[in-house]
């Protein structure tokens, strides 16, 4: 096992004036034995960063160190890592036993040791009964477990996982996540895991690196990222449903969506590697007849243009006396234990958690409340969190 250090790691394609930088300087230390998840939307650079750690992509600038040794110039086989891919990458003509043993055989380990390692990994992954089968005779979940077993028998310093569960159905993903957690508890091997699925990220990661356009928007423990998002991007990406993000202007203890008096269409801010207002943020429609007026339970951090964030579970039905804003219900999503109301509040698309049983109907104007502890404030231009 070993720590992984990323020191101002950058990646560019092309050279000179035509060079396109896709990773904009990542700094992070993954502690020895830590399980860290790289999470973000497609195209944000998370898989590219993982492949740079693996040695499958060249590093344009910066350093990557594994166990204190800089590995920029080392071939993948010399980095003492094991990688699990999305597409399993099994040899179709080999049995499960042969697939798991192949890497050890190439390294010249004694046959008895190879057999012992394969048998142990197969028992852990419940594959002992399938060791003589070919991959075509296995289910998708079993194939992914074979791919994990092939990595486990290597006993590497670092495990690298590149969206390994995305080809599995929902039930198998849950089961395999549990297996991964058990494996990490037993082996305590340093692990980097790439996913676009925030449920996987929140469930598996001891820490998250939330990626956006080649930048690490936030690095922290899952609940820290959830409770104190560093930007509107993180706030809108982590959480299901996403945080309500309402652009407007704070003045005299009131927040007017869309700017002064709640009228007009607010500037969305420059979307950039550093943050900005993400697509899908709640905005006031131009010419909205009824502006959204929100009575604040505590003063805004400053007057003027801001973005107010409130998570759906913190925006709850209220009595007339408690009401701080209203929601014109356009859809109710019933999920059994929970129900969510979606609709317009002064032209802003919002969602509120109703709890079990619903309690709202389409066309209803729903009075809502929230507390000061559950308000999040962001800069209207940069999208960065304001304390």
Q: In whole angstroms, what is the distance from residue 233 CA to residue 79 CA?
A: 34
Q: In whole angstroms, what is the distance from residue 186 CA to residue 92 CA?
A: 30
Domain residue ranges of the chain, discontinuous segments joined by +: 4-227, 232-386
pLDDT of residue 16: 82
pLDDT of residue 286: 33
Whether 296 contacts 250, CB under 8 Å: yes
- pLDDT tens for each residue of 112-159: 999 999 999 999 888 999 999 999 999 888 898 899 899 989 889 999
4-227: what CATH class? alpha beta
3-class secondary-structure state, position 363: coil
Q: In whole angstroms, what is the distance from residue 279 CA to residue 298 CA?
A: 28
pLDDT of residue 289: 38
Express as a percent the part of the chain with pLDDT over 70. 89
* Choice between 265 and 327, residue whose per-residue pLDDT is larger: 327
Complete edge-to-edge strand list for the sheet that includes strand 81-84: 81-84, 158-162, 190-195, 35-39, 207-212, 215-220
pLDDT of residue 135: 93
Q: In whole angstroms, what is the distance from residue 316 CA to residue 310 CA?
A: 11
- pLDDT tens for each residue of 249-284: 999 889 998 644 433 333 333 333 344 444 334 433
Q: In whole angstroms, what is the distance from residue 243 CA to residue 226 CA?
A: 10
Q: In whole angstroms, what is the distance from residue 260 CA to residue 130 CA?
A: 67
Please give the model's pTM, rounded to 2 decimal places.
0.86
pLDDT of residue 202: 94
């Amino acid at each position: 096992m070993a720590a992984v250090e990323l020191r101002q790691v950058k990646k560019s394609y092309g050279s000179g004036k035509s060079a396109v930088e896709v990773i904009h300087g990542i700094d992070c230390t993954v502690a020895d034995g830590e399980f860290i998840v790289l999470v973000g939307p497609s195209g944000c650079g998370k898989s590219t960063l993982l492949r740079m750690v693996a040695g499958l992509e060249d590093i344009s600038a910066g350093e990557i160190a594994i166990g204190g040794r800089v590995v920029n110039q080392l071939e993948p086989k010399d980095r003492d890592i094991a990688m699990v891919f999305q597409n399993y990458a099994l040899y179709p003509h080999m049995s499960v036993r042969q697939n798991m043993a192949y890497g050890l055989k190439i390294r010249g380990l004694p046959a008895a040791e190879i057999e012992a390692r394969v048998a142990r990994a197969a028992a852990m992954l419940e594959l002992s009964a399938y060791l003589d089968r070919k991959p075509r005779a296995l289910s998708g979940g079993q194939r992914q477990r074979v791919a994990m077993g092939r990595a486990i028998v290597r006993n590497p310093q670092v495990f690298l996982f590149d969206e390994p569960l995305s080809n599995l159905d929902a039930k198998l993903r849950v089961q395999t996540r549990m297996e991964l957690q058990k494996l990490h508890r037993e082996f305590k091997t340093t692990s980097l895991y790439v996913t676009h699925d925030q449920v996987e990220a929140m469930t598996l990661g001891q820490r998250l690196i939330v990626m956006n356009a080649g930048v690490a928007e936030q690095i922290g423990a899952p609940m820290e990222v959830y409770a104190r998002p560093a930007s509107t991007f993180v706030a809108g990406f982590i959480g299901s449903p996403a945080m309500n993000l309402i652009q407007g202007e704070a003045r005299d203890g009131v927040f007017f969506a869309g700017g002064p008096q709640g009228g007009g269409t607010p500037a969305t801010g420059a979307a950039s590697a550093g943050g900005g207002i993400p697509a899908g943020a709640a905005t006031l429609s131009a010419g909205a007849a009824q502006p959204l007026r929100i009575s604040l339970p505590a003063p805004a951090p400053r007057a003027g243009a801001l973005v107010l964030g409130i998570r759906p579970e913190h925006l709850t039905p209220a009595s007339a006396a408690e009401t701080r804003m209203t929601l014109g219900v356009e859809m109710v999503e019933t999920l059994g234990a929970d129900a969510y109301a979606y609709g317009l509040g002064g032209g802003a698309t919002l969602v509120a958690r109703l709890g079990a049983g619903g309690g709202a109907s389409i066309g209803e104007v729903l009075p809502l409340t929230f507390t000061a502890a559950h308000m999040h404030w962001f800069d209207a231009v940069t999208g960065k969190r304001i304390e």
